[in-house]
Structure 1
Amino acid sequence: MPGQVPPRPPAPLPPRPGSIVPPKLPQLPKFVRKVKPSAWIELAVAVPWLWWSWLSIQFLGVPWRGLYWIGLAVWGVSAAVVVLHPRAEDLLAWRVHRLRPPSAWESQRLGPAWWAVCTAAGVDPDRYRVWVHEGPEATAPITPGSSVAVTSWAVYSLPPRHLEAVLAHELAHHLAVPRAVSLLLYWLALPARLMGRVIVFCLRHRVLSILAKIVIGFLLVGVLGVWFYLGFSHYVVFLLSPFLAPVLAPWAGRTQEKLADRAAVDLGYGEFLAEVFTGREVQRAQAWHNAPRPGLKGAQPLDSVRLRALERLLTSTPQRGL
């Protein structure tokens, strides 16, 4: 199957000299508790996305009510297909997230590293499919379901133990929320995401931007009017969510990345992950490149910020096996 890491070896391989043999299931409950805050953040962010997706489908019924019921049926049936059919998840990873299956050489590097990380976490490595994301970053964007993304930079540049640390970070994202729930939340939020892209396109267009600003201004005045006459309530929060999403959604992504780093520390990969970010800073210094400054809209925290957080965590949390 495309993107699937080679199957596990028939028998456990002997440990390499100087390598750390991670314990199995006894560490799993503590590790799962570390990823629970990330699950709550993802579920909290999904609520307004789902609400606006429902409103987006309601907009289809403005010219004709039958379009609303057709859109609602397509919305629900397609979500069930994505959750139940593995091939649909592969197409989602390939077409939407722009991931690719690893080559033969990449699979040789990823196979043992992925097996070691899943053994440390006490999970079955065959439950997931590892894909490659073309990018220069240390960690890949968060993907739903059982599709685990790792950057090509990590595959080609990192030693085996450091590659395991990056994979431990990626695994933490997928242990936060079950596969079916994460896929369902992502797919059901697609209408709202598409509507957001349409709005951004209109704002960037010279002529359509005027109409889009008028609509947004009218909506904001209406929300403030509801707030003034009916008082503050959860309904007002939902109406204000599109104006807060450009700041809150990236903040939630950065927080999830930091929580995944903490989970990697709990698995014993904290020092290796810190060395990954240290190497990134050294490479930038040697090439005289400044670190990207995404600001409030960046979903990935800066490598220097993650490195400082890891250093503070490592000084207060002893690494097992080190």
Structure 2
Amino acid sequence: MAAHMAAGVRRVKPSAWVELALALPWLWWSWLAIALISGPFDTFGVVLSVVWLVSAFAVVVYPPLEHVLAAKVYRLRKPFEWELRRLGPAWWAVCTAAGADPNRYRLWIHEGPEATPPYPAPGAAIAVTNWALSRLPDRHLEAVLAHELAHSLALPRIPSLLLYWLTLPAKIAGRIVDFCWNHRLLKTLLKVVVGFFLISVIGIGLFLGFDSVWVWLLLSPFAAPVVVPWVARVQEKMADRVAFDLGYGFLLAQVFQGREYERAQLAEQGLRQTVGGTQPLDSARLHALEDLLNSSPQNGHHPPY
């Protein structure tokens, strides 16, 4: 049984190398954020870096900290009793189809109107939106859970948690920038800081030459508003593909088709993909799944359990 489960996971899981490659910009920006705050040779910088690394180890070895992260950082909540009664059978069915151990994960609820949460939760957390839980039939709920499980299949709990924690400084810096940009006084201060940073980088470029990779690495945070949402959309489409490989392609396509129908019933205008959107449009995900179903229809139906 264990060998069958392991083979099932190897068959459907996305590439760990792709997930690691997508995390590289975040790791660089996190190091850069700490370096800019503390200075690379300052004692405070050394202490901050050590605390950063030790805290990552603490999150991995002490599971209650992971639960605190899920509730406070990911903004998830524990399922109510009636929600667990609905989630339990669907979750076991999905894990059986994937050859995964359902007891290795913990189910959480994301309060939102989306079919899937805007960002996947790392570690052992599996989040499902309350919209999906309250609106979808059982089999379609399985399809959404298959999508969420796909995010966790590429990387085991420990590497996933470590990557998330080590990239947290960059994520916090991004939220600070967003907060400052939305307040008039702080926006002016932010422009001054960014201007000073640009002048410093230009000075480095004049000294090292603008063909130096370090100059472009220092300028890379300015690409974050485009790169970060693009990476998130790639991860979502990868997870959709894994759900398709598990046999949930047709059901997942029906989920997105139903959302498009709801939008039409409400006479809402068709949405356009924005540069900052972290999720592909339902219509884009539907078209991608339809292409997969047309190319390999046998893979998109009837999960093997």
For the criterion TM > 0.5, the same-fold answer is yes
Structure 2 SS opposite 1:267: helix
How far apart, in 2, do the equivalents of 1:253 and 1:178 lie? 19
Contact 1:48/1:238 (CA < 8 Å) preserved in 2?
no
Q: How far off its partner does 1:231 sit?
A: 4.1
Partner secondary structure for residue 296 of structure 1: coil
Partner of 2:46: 69
Question: 2:257 matched to 1:278?
Answer: yes
Letter in 2 for 1:186: Y
Report deviation, 1:59.
Answer: 4.0
Secondary structure class of the residue paired with 2:127? strand
1:160 is aligned to 138
Maintained 8 Å contact 1:59/1:68: no
Letter in 1 for 2:275: L
CA contact (8 A) 1:270 1:319 kept: no
After alignment, is 197-206 or 183-192 more displaced? 197-206
For residues 93-118 of structure 1, the C-alpha deviation after alignment (integer angstroms, 9 at most, x for no partner) is 01111111111111111111110111
- Paired residues for 1:204-215 under 5 Å: 204-215=182-193
Distance 1:156 1:184 in 2: 33
User: Offset of 1:216 from its aligned partner?
Assistant: 1.5
Provide the residue aligned with 1:29 in structure 2. 10
| CA-based RMSD | 2.2
- Decide whether the 8 Å contact of 1:56 with 1:191 is kept in 2: yes
Matches within 5 A, 1:158-307: 158-227=136-205, 229-293=208-272, 295-307=274-286
- Residue 86 (str. 1) matches residue 63 (str. 2): yes
Structure 2: how far apart are the matches of 1:241 and 1:224? Answer: 13
Say yes or no: does 1:104 pair with 2:81: yes
Unaligned 5+ runs, structure 1: 1-22
Is 2:9–2:153's contact at 8 Å kept on the other side of the alignment? Answer: no
1:137 — aligned with what? 114
Q: Are the counterparts in 1 of residues 8 and 100 from structure 2 also a CA contact under 8 Å?
A: no
Q: CA deviation at 1:224?
A: 4.3
Bigger mean CA offset, 258-267 vs 72-81: 72-81
What's the CA shift for 1:82?
0.7
Report if the CA contact (8 A) 1:99-1:133 is conserved. yes
Distance 2:173 2:6 in 1: 44
CA deviation map 1:48-97 (0-9, x unaligned): 322332333334435x9332233223212211111111111111001111
User: Is the 1:133–1:152 Cα contact (8 Å) retained in structure 2?
Assistant: yes
Alignment length (residue pairs):
295
Instruction: Give the TM-score normalised by the residue count of structure 2.
Output: 0.89
